[in-house]
Structure 1
Amino acid sequence: MALPRPTLTRIAREYAPHEHRPLDGYLVAMGAFGTLSAALVAAAKLSGRPVPDRPSLGDVALLSIATHKLSRLVAKDSVTSPLRAPFTRYTEPAGAAELNEEVRDEGSSVRHGIGELITCPFCLAVWVATGLTGGLVLAPRFTRLAATVLTATAVSDFLQMAYSIAKEKAEG
């Protein structure tokens, strides 16, 4: 007699009996990330573009700051909330044009998993960095230009905050 095969739903219940963990949604996200990564590798090979042995320190710094900014834009910015709305619910402002949202629990685990991914700038950073790094190989001039815009915006954000703090201290 064969033992019953554990289903993903049962595994998820055993994994986190007191909390819903959308493991199948996470598997879909990991599969999508793997597909994105494989597509970037295939595109690089097909294009014949050389992949650098070691990216320059300047490119790493540029992409790091751009990754930070784009991840926050997608995950937290008020203007990008329509992209997150099918997966989240607005809860409150979070200051500096950012929002706090909660992931919708109703619907599928895939929807929930996507909601968790797109509301977490730390989670999105891996996707954004992979895309920007792939862009650096496939379209380096355009990628550096887009990353420069994001980097300048991130630096501007920090300067705006520093100015506000300095102004409050001077007035206060």
Structure 2
Amino acid sequence: MTNLQARAAEMARAYAPHEHRPLDGYVVAMGAFGALATALAAAAKITGRPAPHRPALADVALVSIATHKLSRLIAKDAVTSPLRAPFTRYTEPAGAAELNEEVRDEGSTVRHGLGELLTCPFCLAVWVSTGLTGGLVLAPRLTRLAATALTATAVSDFLQMAYDIAKRKAEGGD
């Protein structure tokens, strides 16, 4: 273990003496997010595409719903479980094609921190919204098209759930 790793481990123990907190994993994730944001800003500058002074309300609504859907798709969907598998362990179904998974404790704290990120739709939302917002600057037509598909899927999900609830009520279920 290097001196830097030893100091990081000691800081984590001092921060949370009764619980494992993968602080260096979080630092890696924050660094990656900073790199993403910097890359998007650099790409906008290089291509000469300015950020809007005020994003259109329609774009904010579109990106908001698309962010919700893509974040849940990455963090919870059964089909995307191979992306999370190196960092998580399956625990049980969570209903409506979603899974509950626990973050793997073995291995590195970076793996643990990334596992926490990949299983948390709330945490992923910042990454997804940053990517979609950057896409609105760099490739607005393609981003709006992708966001429209994600938004339509999110609306469909809610309609499917509403239909299921209405059907159960009509059949006398709870």
Aligned length: 169
Matches within 5 A, 1:127-166: 127-166=127-166
Q: Specify the SS of the correspondent of 1:51.
A: coil
Matches within 5 A, 1:19-30: 19-30=19-30
Partner of residue 40, structure 1: 40
Partner of residue 170, structure 1: 170
TM-score by length of 1: 0.96
Partner of residue 112, structure 2: 112
Partner of residue 76, structure 2: 76
Q: How far, CA to CA, are the matches of 1:51 and 1:134 in structure 2? A: 9
Partner AA of 2:92 in structure 1:
E
Partner of residue 124, structure 2: 124
CA-to-aligned-CA distance 1:59-85 (integer Å, 9 cap, x gap) = 000000000000000000000000000
Partner AA of 2:84 in structure 1:
R
RMSD, matched Cα: 1.2
TM-aligned CA deviation for residue 42 of structure 1: 0.2
Partner AA of 1:134 in structure 2:
G
CA-to-aligned-CA distance 1:23-62 (integer Å, 9 cap, x gap) = 0000000000000000000000000012100100000000
TM-aligned CA deviation for residue 118 of structure 1: 0.3
Q: How far, CA to CA, are the matches of 2:30 and 2:100 in structure 1? A: 25
TM-score by length of 2: 0.95
CA-to-aligned-CA distance 1:66-123 (integer Å, 9 cap, x gap) = 0000000000000000000000000000000000000000000000000000000000
Q: Specify the SS of the correspondent of 1:123.
A: helix
Q: Specify the SS of the correspondent of 2:18.
A: coil
In structure 2, runs of 5+ residues without a counterpart are none
Are residue 54 (structure 1) and residue 54 (structure 2) matched?
Answer: yes
Q: How far, CA to CA, are the matches of 2:55 and 2:131 in structure 1? A: 15
Q: Specify the SS of the correspondent of 1:49.
A: coil
TM-aligned CA deviation for residue 138 of structure 1: 0.2
